[in-house]
Amino acid sequence: MIRTKLKRLKIDDVVNDNTESFMIPRFLFESKINSSSKIIYCFILESGKNNTYLTIQDISNLINSNVNTATKYINELIEQNLIRELNDTEKYKILSKKNLDNLGIGINVCEWCHIKTTYLHKHHYPIKKSNGGIDTVNICPICHSEFHNRLFVIKE
Ligand SMILES: [Zn+2]
Ligand SMILES: [Zn+2]
């Protein structure tokens, strides 16, 4: 790993604070992929260290672009085998480990995070409705929307 200035990645035009620097793996620094894709990789790498996951919306905010542009860079990273999306089982495991027992205000309890909520959503799991799934779970709107996000991790 080498520490490099964003400037050296030529992305100072997309990040306001160009004094910030990122740890970038040498192979990535030297690779020919788009410099915005490189900085997105760095954001995903950093976020993974804190056990957090970035959505396409987060990524487009971070690089100051729109969702379509961010998606294009994300797809380049996926095609280059540098990152991958979390799969449904991984998302379920993360969401159901939140341990929010007894927190919240409603009389309904989310089957995954156990928060007390005024709203539950029926969600097809483990098999998507579009794949013929009939089993559903009753989960809170937060677990539900987070599940339907595309989330990314560094490909090992
Ligand atoms: Zn929940
Ligand atoms: Zn759903």
Ligand 2 centroid to 71 CA: how many Å? 21
pLDDT of residue 20: 60
Q: Which ligand is nearest to the CA of 124?
A: 2
Catalogue all structural domains in the chain, each as residue range(s) with its CATH number.
2-85 (1.10.472), 88-147 (no CATH)
Low-confidence ranges of the chain (pLDDT < 50): 5-8, 10-18
Residue type, position 59, single letter = I
How much is the pTM? 0.84
Ligand 1 centroid to 108 CA: how many Å? 10
Q: Using an 8 Å Cβ cutoff, are 78 and 36 in contact?
A: no
pLDDT of residue 3: 52
pLDDT of residue 11: 45
pLDDT of residue 26: 83
H-state helical runs in 1-117: 26-30, 35-49, 56-62, 67-79, 88-95
